[in-house]
Amino acid sequence: MKKIVRSNYFKITVLAVMLLGALSLGFILKEKETGKEYTQPGMVVSLPDDLVKRAAIPGLPAPDDAEKAVPVYGNWKNFTTKDGLPSDKCYCVRVSGDKTYVGTHDGLAVYEKGKWKTYTSKDGLSHNGVVSVDVSEITGDVWIGTLGGLTRWSAGKFEIFNQFNSGMPNDLVYMVICDGPDVWVTTGGGAGRYNTLKKEWEIFTEQNAPMHEPWTYGVSAGDGKVYIAAWGGGVIEYNPKTKQFRDHTDPDGFMEIDLQPDDGLVHDITTATSYADGILWVSTYFGMSRYDGKYWKGYFKEDSGLASNFINFLRAEGPCAFMCTDNGFSSTNGTNWVTYKKNENDANGVAIVTTGGVKKEIPQSPSISHNFIIGVDGQDDVMWVATSKGVSRGEKLKL
């Protein structure tokens, strides 16, 4: 043993280990220092320490981006059945050009030039319960996901796809998106891809994809990949070119608390995914996750500006994500937040703006029409949110 300890090889090895340890320590210390530097003076309300610390760890926007404020919307105009909507229960909203499509419990409402027009199954919709709408950028066709099948609305003509007349996986459509010539649906019986050029369906269930069960809620696409929010199965990442899957699940399993922060997806019961600016945003019924391709970051009501951990839907545009929760509407760029809440007893509410750890409240009159939010979409300086009591249209405020 003494012989070994005295040997040059041993000394070199010990020296190398010490050197590596010192270097690693340097990295760790540097991270901590950065976290401190990030803390801004003059905070009105301090954020939890751990959030401040984590604000600069890998997985979050660079400090420069974090400085950027999240846009605030106001001057809300609320629309209900009194204004021409077929139902107050609004499930989704999609803006395309000068038209806004709102999916409701009793049909599809289209807002154009200040007027609403309703389309129902009598006009050709596969079902009146419209839960998702997307517009193909390359053809202009409107794809409508309903509780009873998928409808293509092309130049005024409705064409129905369902599980009986086509390769659709299931008629209970939760979401539809257009990705080039492909149309993706997530349904109660799996996800499906319809290639509009080949006129061919391909379906993905627990039998041919790493899903927990075939129930799929949300889907988004970006940078050549598709991200499926699979109920109980986290996020299924699919590369259509290589036909390879990669599943992202919560390392903590089914637990409703996030045991180890930022170790992965916050929960396996995912409700939506949205990919923008190289970031994947994932909503669950137990918080939200952000993934930059390398690091995960979890967000909860308790340690961020998120309105609620019960998130019905989210959509990302540019650097920001917009979350539809059961208790308000939130938007974030990963660091700064704006959350909109309506007062319980009147039509007014507040926008809670958190920038650089500084929180301030902006009164809004009126506010969004209800705090149970199910859908969101925006275009230019206008934001629409679909709620369980009508749909709201807000304008970007110049603060």
Partner 1 sequence: MRKLIVSVGVIAVLLVLVFIPGKKWAREHVNYKTAVNDHSLNCLNCHLYNSKSPLISKMVNRDYLSPMNIAVSEDGKKLFVTAQDADKLFVIDAAERKILGKIDVGRKPHSVILDNTGSNAYVTNQWSDNVSVIDLAEMKVVDTLSTGNGPAGLSFSSDGKVLYVVNSYSSDLTVIDLASGIEITRLNTGNNPTGIQLSPNGKDLYVTARRAVITPYGEPVTTDLTLVDDQSRRLKSFLPVESAYLMENIAFTPSGDLALVTLIRPKNLLPTLQVEKGWMMNHGFGVIEQKGDGRIIQLLTDEPQAFYPDPFDIVITGDGKRAFISSSGVNMITVIDIDSVRNLIAESTPEMLSLWANHLGISSRYVVKRIPTGANPKGLALSPDGKYLYVAEHLNDMIGVISTETMERTGEIELGSSSRVTVLRRGRQLLNNAGRTFQTQYSCYTCHPDEHEDGLMYNMASKDMGRNITNTQSLREIGDTPPFKWSGKNQTVYKQDGMRFSTVLTRTEQFPYNDLDAISSYIMRGNHYPPNLQFNPDGVLTEAQERGKIIFERTRDNNGNEIPENNRCITCHPAPYYTNLKFADVNTLTASDDSILFDTPHLNNIFSSPPYLHDGRAKTLEEIWTLYGKTDKHGMVNDMTKGQLNDLVEYLKSLRSPDYESGNSKIQKASFNKE
Binding-site ranges for partner 1 (CB under 8 A): 138-141, 152, 154-157, 163-167, 169-170, 181, 189-190, 196-203, 205, 207-208
Smallest gap from residue 140 Cβ to partner 1 (A)? 4
Smallest gap from residue 91 Cβ to partner 1 (A)? 25
**Is residue 57 classed exposed, middle or buried when 0-12, 13-18 and 19+ CB atoms within 10 A define those classes?**
middle
Smallest gap from residue 113 Cβ to partner 1 (A)? 18
Smallest gap from residue 163 Cβ to partner 1 (A)? 7
Q: How many CA atoms lie within 13 A of 129 on its CB side?
A: 8
Pair 105, 386: CB distance under 8 Å: no
Q: Which is nearer to partner 1, 34 or 139 (CB)?
A: 139
Q: Which is nearer to partner 1, 154 or 379 (CB)?
A: 154
Q: Per the omega criterion (within 30 degrees of 0), is the bond before 366 cis?
A: yes
Smallest gap from residue 168 Cβ to partner 1 (A)? 8
Q: Which is nearer to partner 1, 118 or 139 (CB)?
A: 139
Task: Give me the phi and psi of 270, to 5 degrees please.
Answer: -95, 145
Cα–Cα distances in angstroms (integers) from residue 24 to residues 29, 36, 59, 130, 366, in the given order: 9, 19, 19, 54, 53
Task: Give me the phi and psi of 162, to 5 degrees please.
Answer: -140, 180
| Nearest CA among 132, 136, 109, 329 for reference residue 217 | 132
Q: Which is nearer to partner 1, 1 or 138 (CB)?
A: 138
Smallest gap from residue 297 Cβ to partner 1 (A)? 35
CA 80, CA 86: separation in Å to the nearest integer?
A: 8
Q: Which is nearer to partner 1, 135 or 347 (CB)?
A: 135
Q: Which is nearer to partner 1, 104 or 151 (CB)?
A: 151
Angle at 293 between CA 229 and CA 248, to 5 degrees: 35
